Amino acid sequence: MSEKPNETLDCVGLFCPQPLFQTREAIDALEPGQVLEVLADDPAAEEDLKRFAKRTGHDLLRVEQLPDGVRRFLLKKKSE
């Protein structure tokens, strides 16, 4: 199951808390049910985004390890 993201947020090279702040802004701009792809190489990003999704009710659909230490996250905005 591969959800096609509606938006991509490139946070490669940014460190905590920037990926989290930018993810929050980007997901707020989406419509309910839309998917945000986040690319990040900050080691703290995975834990931060998991916690963010749990706290806000958004769905963390997938976490993938890409080459060069980059992780790809797919977050689905919760339905209102």
Q: Is 16 a catalytic residue?
A: yes
Residue 1 has what pLDDT? Answer: 44
Whole-model pTM: value is 0.93
2-6, 16-20, 52-56, 62-66: least confident range: 2-6
Instruction: State pLDDT tens for residues 20-46.
Output: 999 999 999 999 999 999 999 999 999
Of 16, 60, 61, 70, catalytic: 16
pLDDT surpassing 60 at residue 57: yes
When divided into structural domains, the chain yields a total of 1
Q: Yes or no: say if 20 and 56 are a contact pair by the CB < 8 Å rule.
A: no
Instruction: State pLDDT tens for residues 63-78.
Output: 999 989 999 999 999 9
Structural domain of residue 37, as residue ranges?
7-76
Query: Is residue 53 in a domain?
Result: yes
The Cα 76–Cα 68 span in angstroms is: 25
CATH of the domain at 48: 3.30.110.40
